């Protein structure tokens, strides 16, 4: 049974609804997880998603900042809207979705960006980011014969050397500092999560999902980072059939600085 999940930091779902509709029309994922929706729940554009064929909609949002949403063409059941670091900033949503004979627990995350200064003693945003990732140790990749887990989202950390355009130049830049990448990988391993995007891609191959708005010509300079991730429990690895980074979406009209990533599974 084919099953597809897309993840995308949309940077305001209402502002960019036309390109969301384009993604849904051209690629039709079974489930779409959005981050940085920037809309309170009462103003979420449900009608537009229903018109596009996505009748099952859950969201966790606030005015102007953060926010996550999960929409689907098949039924989804709310599991949790978890509060991290004792802050109500709408960065997590988990649902259950049935795919084949498996019940999949799907986590949708928007990890704090962390500000500009990579020093938790003087930058409370960076401190918050580190604390948030530490708390993610409490999100395991639970699995058994009939269930599995998937974690997606804008995790705002590029963990490997070739997840950024220049490892040396970005070692002191938030999203690729050693304290972030080490705690991130430790958290992933502690939870038993598999980084699906690197399963069949050599460690020396560059992988990006984000290109800064600050670049005059993002495509020519190609100074990207892999900030968006798709992880799963180990029992889904045999069913994983690959993924696509939709780099072309960075050039769509009024784009996000992130692009969609779509993962494909073939589940019994």
Could you list the residues known to form a binding site for Mg(2+), using ranges.
9, 36, 154, 156, 257-258
Please name which of 258, 155, 157, 154 lies closest in space to residue 209, comparing C-alpha atoms: 258
Q: Which of 92, 107, 154, 229 is catalytic?
A: 154
Report yes or no: 161 and 171 within 8 Å, Cβ to Cβ.
no
Distances (CA, A) of 49 to 7, 18, 136, 160, 204: 15, 11, 30, 35, 39
CA 268 to centroid of chain Cα atoms: 25
Q: Which residue has the tokens 């537009």?
A: 48
Please name which of 27, 25, 69, 66 lies closest in space to residue 44, comparing C-alpha atoms: 69
For residue 159, the 8-state DSSP code is: -
Q: Which residue has the tokens 């994983």?
A: 240
CA 52 to centroid of chain Cα atoms: 22
110 has catalytic annotation: yes
Report yes or no: 8 and 260 within 8 Å, Cβ to Cβ.
yes
Q: Which of 54, 107, 110, 208 is catalytic?
A: 110
- For residue 109, give every residue at least 6 positions away whose Cβ sits within 8 Å of its Cβ, in sequence order, or none: 35, 68, 91, 92, 136, 151, 152, 153, 154, 155
Catalytic residue numbers read 110, 154, 258
């Amino acid at each position: 049974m084919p099953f597809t999940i897309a993840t995308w930091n949309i940077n305001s779902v209402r502002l960019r609804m036309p390109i969301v509709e384009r993604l849904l029309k051209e690629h039709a994922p079974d489930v779409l997880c959005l981050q940085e929706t920037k809309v309170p729940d009462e103003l979420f554009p449900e009608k537009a998603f229903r018109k596009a064929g996505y009748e099952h909609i859950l969201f966790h949002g606030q005015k102007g900042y953060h926010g996550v949403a999960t929409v689907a063409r098949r039924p989804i059941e709310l599991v949790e809207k978890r509060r991290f670091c004792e802050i109500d900033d709408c960065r997590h949503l988990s649902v259950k979705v049935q795919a084949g004979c498996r019940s999949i627990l799907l986590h949708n995350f928007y990890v704090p960006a962390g500000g500009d200064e990579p020093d938790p003693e003087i930058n409370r945003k960076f401190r918050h980011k580190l604390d948030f990732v530490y708390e993610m140790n409490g999100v395991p990749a639970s699995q058994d014969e009939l269930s599995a887990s998937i974690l997606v989202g804008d995790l705002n950390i590029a963990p490997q050397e070739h997840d950024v355009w220049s490892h040396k130049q970005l070692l002191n830049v938030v999203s690729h500092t050693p304290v972030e990448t080490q705690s991130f990988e430790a958290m992933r391993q502690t939870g038993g999560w598999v980084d699906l995007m690197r399963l069949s891609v050599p460690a020396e191959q560059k992988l990006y999902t984000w290109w800064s708005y600050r670049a005059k010509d993002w495509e020519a300079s190609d100074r990207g980072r892999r900030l968006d991730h798709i992880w799963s429990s180990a029992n889904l690895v045999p069913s994983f059939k690959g993924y696509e980074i939709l780099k072309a979406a960075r050039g769509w009209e009024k784009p996000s600085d992130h692009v969609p990533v779509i993962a494909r599974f073939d589940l019994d």
